Amino acid sequence: MEKYKTLQEAVTIRGTLRYQGKTVVLTNGCFDLLHGGHIHLFKQAKKLGDSLIAAVNDDSSIQRLKGPNRPVFPLEERLEVLEAVKYIDYLISFSQDTPKELIAAILPDVLVKGGDWAPDEVVGREEVEYAGGRVIIIPYRSGYSSTDIIKKIRSLKESVIGFTIQ
């Protein structure tokens, strides 16, 4: 995977881009069951700068956040799919429950989250703003949610099979 970087590589790339006067945008999430809402987020985020970094929760952090049945797709598969998204320039993964340390290390010019987040809830906001950056919330597109998609699939299977799926 060409776009995937370690934290140290991402920090080095960030330094080079800063030196070149380029704007770095960072967004983060689980990106499990990639859907149109994610693509909209990436497309809008990319418009805000020269390079877009997508930070991705690893499998263990998703399980802690969303339960033992998630993620649907393991990290390697999610990264492979995200590698094909033309709006993303770099990918990085993290194992902590939040990307706060990663964001503090990279200090993007713009930190982007989807509209299901309030600006004061965005992890890393204080660090980014203190360093002179800004936080942008991309309006949420109703009906686009991995959790909702999973619920819909389960309800379809239940109606066909006739019993509840755990």
In a domain, 27, yes or no: yes
pLDDT for 119-147, tens place per residue? 899 999 999 999 999 999 998 776 666 66
Q: Is the pLDDT assigned to residue 165 strictly greater than 90?
A: no
For residue 53, give both structure tokens: 């970094």
Q: What is the pLDDT of residues 85-119, one digit of tens each?
A: 999 999 999 999 999 999 999 999 999 999 888 88
User: Which ranges of 87-164 would DSSP assign to H, the alpha helix?
Assistant: 100-106, 125-130, 146-161
DSSP, collapsed to helix, strand or coil, labels residue 165 as: coil
Nearest Cα neighbor of 25 from 108, 107, 106 is 108
Q: What's the pTM value of the predicted model, to 2 decimals?
A: 0.88
Q: What is the DSSP string of 9-38?
A: HHHHHHHHHHHTT--EEEEEE---S--HHH
Which CATH number fits the domain that encloses residue 102? Answer: 3.40.50.620
Q: Is residue 152 in some structural domain?
A: no
162 found inside a domain: no
> Residue 148 falls within a domain, yes or no?
no
Does the residue 23 lie in any domain?
yes
- Does residue 57 lie in a domain region? yes
Residue 25 forms part of a structural domain = yes
Residue 120 covered by a domain: yes
| pLDDT one-digit tens code per residue, 25-39 | 999 999 988 988 999
Backbone angles phi, psi at 115, to 5 degrees: -65, -5
Sheet with 51-57, side-by-side order of all strands: 90-94, 51-57, 24-29, 110-114, 134-138
pLDDT value for 147: 65
Domain count, the chain: 1
Residue-level pLDDT at 164: 55
Range of the domain at 91: 7-140
